[in-house]
Amino acid sequence: MLAGKTALVTGGSRGIGAAIALRLAELGADVAITYASAKDRAEEVVGQITATGRRGLAIAADNTDSAALLEAVDRTAAELGGLDILVNNAGIFPSGVIGEVSEEEVDRTLAVHVRAVYLASQAALKHMPEGGRIISIGSNLAERVPFPGVALYAMSKAALLGFTRGAARDLGPRGITVNLVQPGPTDTDMNPAGADGADYQRSITALGHFADPREIAETVAHLASPGARNITGSVITVDGGTNA
């Protein structure tokens, strides 16, 4: 389905990003991933990608370092021979009620979740042909916030709704689609299904369980596929019905 395509997944060393990178490779794409600090885990993911028979590449690039991020985009295109699919996935989870959160945390969160998404997408466009895909990973909390302590996180993810819709309009004439996937509770290091607070998150889903990261990856894989060529400016929430 993705044979001959190349992809870059930011924050692909763990969790949802690793599952997306592996799924895209299983479907035939060559895949580069970025990571902030987990070099060993990134190399493990590259090992899993190459085990599928595809090419993999791990690049250290913190989303707050725009020079490193833009270099990662260019390096992906140079080493893998183009860039068809960009997945803006890298993320952090700042928490604290308003009044407790520092200015540095505000700046860092907006840099990782908003500024980097815009700049990486802009850089990717230099390489992206017709049929290109920009897919960002937001959060169901962008649209409904059922508990306190996440205003900054929700604000940063809400920016992706505007980005997705606006960029879809800009890039439609080039045949490039731009979409947003909004996970809900998903079992990763960021939000372990066995941690304190997990039962509460389960209780506000409709289905009663966390997602497996591979379930988020399936939605991304569909949006990346040729069959999704008419989906753009769309938001798909994969949250077990939390926002229902």
The set of catalytic residues is 153
Q: Which residues pair with 135 in a beta bridge?
A: 87, 179
Task: Select the residue interacting with ligand NDP from 6, 35, 57, 85 (CB under 6 A).
Answer: 35
Burial class from Cβ neighbours inside 10 Å (0-12, 13-18, 19+) for residue 63 reads buried
Query: Amino acid identity, residue 142?
Result: A
Q: Which residues pair with 75 in a beta bridge?
A: none
15 scored as a contact of ligand NDP (CB under 6 A): yes
Q: How far is the CB of 1 from ligand NDP (least distance, A)?
A: 23
Q: Tokens representing 142?
A: 């962008």
Q: How far is the CB of 174 from ligand NDP (least distance, A)?
A: 26
Residue 211 sits at φ, ψ, to 5 deg, of -80, 150
17 scored as a contact of ligand NDP (CB under 6 A): yes
Residue 59 sits at φ, ψ, to 5 deg, of -130, 125
The Cα 206–Cα 8 span in angstroms is 33
**The one segment of 71-79, 127-135, 171-179, 186-194 that binds ligand NDP by CB under 6 A:** 186-194
Size of the site for ligand NDP (CB under 6 A): 32
Please report the DSSP string for 125-143 in residue order: HTT--TT-EEEEE--GGGT
Task: Select the residue interacting with ligand NDP from 27, 46, 117, 137 (CB under 6 A).
Answer: 137
56 scored as a contact of ligand NDP (CB under 6 A): no
CB contact at 8 A, 85 and 132? yes
CB contact at 8 A, 18 and 137? no
Q: How far is the CB of 184 from ligand NDP (least distance, A)?
A: 6
177 scored as a contact of ligand NDP (CB under 6 A): no
* β-bridge pairing 177-183 and 133-137: parallel
191 scored as a contact of ligand NDP (CB under 6 A): yes
CB contact at 8 A, 182 and 140? yes
Binding mask 96-135 for ligand NDP (x = CB under 6 A): ----------------x-----------------------
62 scored as a contact of ligand NDP (CB under 6 A): yes
11 scored as a contact of ligand NDP (CB under 6 A): yes
Q: How far is the CB of 123 from ligand NDP (least distance, A)?
A: 15
223 scored as a contact of ligand NDP (CB under 6 A): no
For binding to ligand NDP (CB under 6 A), which residues are involved? Answer: 10-17, 34-38, 41, 62-64, 89-92, 112, 137, 139, 183-186, 188-191
